[in-house]
Structure 1
Amino acid sequence: MGTLSMLKKRPLTVLVVEDDDELRDILHAEFELEGLTVLTATDGSEAVTTVRRLKPDLILMDIMMPVMSGIEATEILKGDEETRHIPIVMLTAAGNKEDIVKGLEVGAIDYITKPFFMPELKARLRAILQHKIMYDELKKIQDTLIKNERLRTMSALTEAVQGSVNEPLTLILGRIHLLRRKEGVISKDDLRTLENAANKIKDIINHLGIMECLYPTPLLGESDFVDLPFLN
């Protein structure tokens, strides 16, 4: 089986969060041999800062650490929209079942007990990274689809607005032309017609502003049909 770095063309990054200097150095060296880019942190607080700044592909996090535990850090990262998708594997002492359960409950994808068998650890990380790569590719495709849907939606919206605005505008311009021929004599009916047409345009513009606030990003799969009742 290939090295971890062969899973993807771009360099993969792993963050090792471990307060034991010796173990952290061992993991750093082993993962570098696999062709990975390795980041390190000594506690949960440092890990949260590093993850938010550098967005690694995977996090290997010890549970029991000073300043902030791995469980606390995992809960923070999984509660953040920008980092919740990053897989976290917990490192824990054998027999510490309660912490294992807590770690999984707050969002860890897997756990490894110490002492661990290095080939097994690498095999687990390889499987997790493969899933992360698939997630990234699907996310990229989804983002492209959403962008295309937004363009289609805006195109349909523009066409609908043009059709609806043109009618009252044509009416206004026509009445203005007639008024000019009447040498400035404006009847109440003419005023009412112009006012209604202007209000129609105003309503359309106001509704467009409301739609922009409510739907800044179209939902995937829900923008094939554009319902614009205010244009009727």
Structure 2
Amino acid sequence: MCAKILVVEDEEALSRLLSYNLGKEGFAVGVCADGDDALIAVDEERPDLILLDWMLPNVSGVEICRQLRAGSQTREIPVIMLTARGEEDDRIRGLELGADDYVTKPFSMSELVARIRAVLRRTRPTIAGDVATFADIVLDRETCRVRRAGRDVHLGPTEFRLLDTLMQRPGRVFSREQLLDRVWGTDVYVEIRTVDVHVGRLRKALNRRGEADPIRTVRASGYALDETYQGGPAVPRKAG
């Protein structure tokens, strides 16, 4: 699974723990330590889910949740509140503000991951599901297998994550920087041209001679899955 999760938590030890464990579960993880940075991060790249601490410096988690639900571009982003507060009134207040779930500290990582997946299944079914389909391409996240037009496509782990990311939003243009964050992670230094190399490998594995290329290169921008792709052979271009 390559869903992008934004962790908004000012406790550094807990933030590192969440980033490490969620990364092991296959999520792409971004981290912010305060509310101001979180709002900027959400504006720059929409996460698929936000883990939001209730008590934060500057802008509180409560206010962030309120602003997210008030914004036309952010109101659908699922939010799970993290807090040490355990009183029923506080839980109700968090849910009334628009939070999708509420986890009280301390919590087990297995419980949190289960809550994340449950929310994603409900709000982002195409991401949370084990199988993604685009035209004649089928990607199975549980078995890490890819098939195109009924035949197996053999991909390395990086190419698999790259294809998974593109298939989550067909037609969306991902910049090279966005692909670096989602596929390699924010804590790993990788040269930008590495993205081009792995896209080339993905194309080589995915496309047999005569088949249409489902990956579209957008000059000076990045890559996308071509929404006009329907599967099958390449369509010859008309002369002139």
| TM-score (structure 1 length as normaliser) | 0.52
Sequence identity, in percent?
Answer: 43
**Higher strand share goes to which structure?**
2
Q: Could you tell me which residue of structure 2 aligns to residue 33 of structure 1? A: 24
- Report SS of the residue matched to 1:67: coil
| Alpha-carbon distance change, 77 to 16 in structure 1, aligned in 2, over 3 angstroms | same
Do residues 103 (structure 1) and 94 (structure 2) align? yes
| Alpha-carbon distance change, 123 to 67 in structure 1, aligned in 2, over 3 angstroms | same
Q: CA deviation at 1:97?
A: 3.5
Q: Could you tell me which residue of structure 1 aligns to residue 4 of structure 2? A: 13
Q: Could you tell me which residue of structure 1 aligns to residue 106 of structure 2? A: 115
Rounded Cα–Cα distance in structure 2 between residues aligned with 1:23 and 1:63: 14
Structure 1 residue corresponding to 2:124, chosen from 112, 119, 133:
133
Q: Could you tell me which residue of structure 2 aligns to residue 56 of structure 1? A: 47
In the alignment, is the contact (CA less than 8 A) between 1:71 and 1:102 conserved in 2?
Answer: no
Rounded Cα–Cα distance in structure 2 between residues aligned with 1:66 and 1:132: 29
**Matched pairs, number:** 128
Q: Matches of residues 146-165 of structure 1 in structure 2 within 5 Å?
A: none
Rounded Cα–Cα distance in structure 1 between residues aligned with 2:50 and 2:93: 17
Q: CA deviation at 1:134?
A: 2.8
Q: Could you tell me which residue of structure 2 aligns to residue 93 of structure 1? A: 84
Structure 1 residue corresponding to 2:35, chosen from 38, 44, 61:
44
Rounded Cα–Cα distance in structure 2 between residues aligned with 1:132 and 1:54: 18
Rounded Cα–Cα distance in structure 2 between residues aligned with 1:70 and 1:91: 9
Q: CA deviation at 1:53?
A: 1.2
Q: CA deviation at 1:135?
A: 7.5
Rounded Cα–Cα distance in structure 2 between residues aligned with 1:90 and 1:121: 11
- Counterpart code for 1:127: A
- Counterpart code for 2:30: L
In the alignment, is the contact (CA less than 8 A) between 1:44 and 1:67 conserved in 2?
Answer: yes
Query: Unaligned regions of 5+ residues in structure 2, if any?
Result: 129-240
Rounded Cα–Cα distance in structure 2 between residues aligned with 1:102 and 1:135: 30
Q: Could you tell me which residue of structure 1 aligns to residue 145 of structure 2? A: none
Query: Unaligned regions of 5+ residues in structure 1, if any?
Result: 6-10, 138-232
In the alignment, is the contact (CA less than 8 A) between 2:5 and 2:48 conserved in 1?
Answer: yes
- Counterpart code for 2:52: M
In the alignment, is the contact (CA less than 8 A) between 1:92 and 1:100 conserved in 2?
Answer: no
